[in-house]
Structure 1
């Protein structure tokens, strides 16, 4: 262990194993073929990109508020959501074109591998947070006042969670390690800076519950509560990924597919080994 560079140990803790994704979990699914998975991801990518472009154009032409697009957590998280499906869809497509032998991310530098895993952590946590906060706190009669508002709100505050659950429940991706939690908290904290910079430069609060003149002492509660909610959601979605893997491992065994069962079982062992405190194992390799 002492002979390994410190950076290598940190990458292991962050989920970047060596070799990277030996079982091709990032580009496969337990319920559909790699080809179908690639098509679904690319359809999600096209839809989310169309949604972003259409909303940006609508706000620019009809309401002249396109300049505020990057001020809202909903829009920022949706951009990340769109980026993930493009990245995952393209990797899945290359996996098909290379006859299911490999995909480019497996040979890319480790920082890019980590960023892809971290992006997965955000898109399986933040969309659910956005959906809960919007429908519980922010929705109003204007949510479905027009065809555009109805479609945009359903796309950004409902379908986002549907797409997210597809990745969690019906692909082999994840679970990502607990060490991603500080990064998620950091991103949420950074958004607070965006929100208050927006108020200082454009004169409005992106979300009413961030207004200290209105919320007073409750503002701290909102900030801490949303941070805690983000951690709880990550914990739940990560647990769902673990349970999904165990379920399909047993399902494969019952159907007489020992290879599939072995892949699921060894994948779980890899994650548990990497995350076990005090572990002396550096790499989780597959043979």
Structure 2
């Protein structure tokens, strides 16, 4: 894994447009769904910032603090991923050639890695929140209930959408390394926040209160992230087997490719050519 960590790959990039097509819906419907999810994510994030700036005791300081939470950062990631994915899907549906295919290979590879974070991190956020942070009491205010459900439950629903509906291939195993690197960078950010703003984004990172349990939480979340990568990888593998091998649904395509037929380019390039050496 380590020798290929910084390789961008030299094979044909996504020859059958797996990132922009679905086995179930047309490219236009996939574009609409992705655009709608992106719109909902950004609307949620902006509304939370405005509401806290107006109503919280600390006003706009509370809004600024939102950017210290992994939950909020991953939700911004969801918004931007679905925005970019919608643009790529739109250009594919419109012209038959996605904008992503015109990007340099490093950006294509980063999009593949971005996709992997979207199908893994939301599950990490959801499990940690409901298993460790949620106190078991429903929120008396509608806003608190809606914001927490949106960021800690719908986030995983969006991840499942990207696992199940598009024709995306299984992510490269090297992405496990980068998932852990990003988590480590966030851990560093959490301690920078404590040093500069005087609080920990999450109480289980406080060594004074938690002691040795901090290490247990950190390593537990890292191991859980790897397990969830395996879960997402297996689900995609199962989806491909059921839809393509078992039921022959090779995808709905734009342009000259007829919906439901197997693209010729995949026979030519081979399955391994769908981004295999990403990141």
Query: TM-score band, normalised by the shorter chain?
Result: 0.7 to 0.9
Choose from 192, 196, 207 the match for 1:197.
192
> Structure 2: how far apart are the matches of 1:43 and 1:85?
9
Compared CA separation, residues 201 and 239, structure 1 to 2 (3 A): same
Q: Is 2:17 the counterpart of 1:24?
A: yes
Displacement, 1:237?
0.1
Alignment check: 8 A CA contact 1:252 1:258 kept: no
Displacement, 1:211?
0.8
Q: Is 2:44 the counterpart of 1:42?
A: no
Alignment of 1:66-105 (within 5 A): 66-98=63-95, 101-105=96-100
Displacement, 1:141?
4.9
Deviations 1:70-126 (A, max 9, x none): 10000011111111000001111111111xx21011121111101110110000000
Decide which structure has greater helix share.
1
Larger relative contact order (Cα-Cα within 8 Å, sequence gap ≥ 6): 2
> Structure 2: how far apart are the matches of 1:33 and 1:272?
20
Match of 1:150? 145
> Structure 2: how far apart are the matches of 1:223 and 1:260?
44
TM-score, normalising length: structure 2: 0.87
Choose from 155, 159, 163 the match for 1:164.
159
Match of 2:272? 270
Displacement, 1:269?
3.5
Alignment of 1:172-191 (within 5 A): 172-191=167-186
Displacement, 1:157?
0.4
Deviations 1:243-273 (A, max 9, x none): 1111111344399x98439888888841699
Alignment check: 8 A CA contact 1:249 1:264 kept: no
Alignment check: 8 A CA contact 1:39 1:89 kept: yes
> Structure 1: how far apart are the matches of 2:274 and 2:27?
26
> Structure 1: how far apart are the matches of 2:267 and 2:176?
24
| Structure 1 gap segments, 5+ residues each | 1-5, 276-287
Q: Report the 3-state secondary structure (helix = DSSP H, G, I; strand = E; otherwise coil) of the residue aligned with 2:200.
A: coil
Q: How many residues align?
A: 262
RMSD across aligned positions (CA): 2.6
Alignment of 1:120-139 (within 5 A): 120-139=115-134
Match of 1:280? none
> Structure 2: how far apart are the matches of 1:273 and 1:86?
21
Displacement, 1:201?
1.0
Q: Give structure 1 regions of 4+ aligned residues with deviation exceeding 4 angstroms.
A: 261-268, 271-275
| Structure 2 gap segments, 5+ residues each | 251-258
Alignment check: 8 A CA contact 1:45 1:83 kept: yes
Match of 1:58? 51
Compared CA separation, residues 226 and 267, structure 1 to 2 (3 A): farther
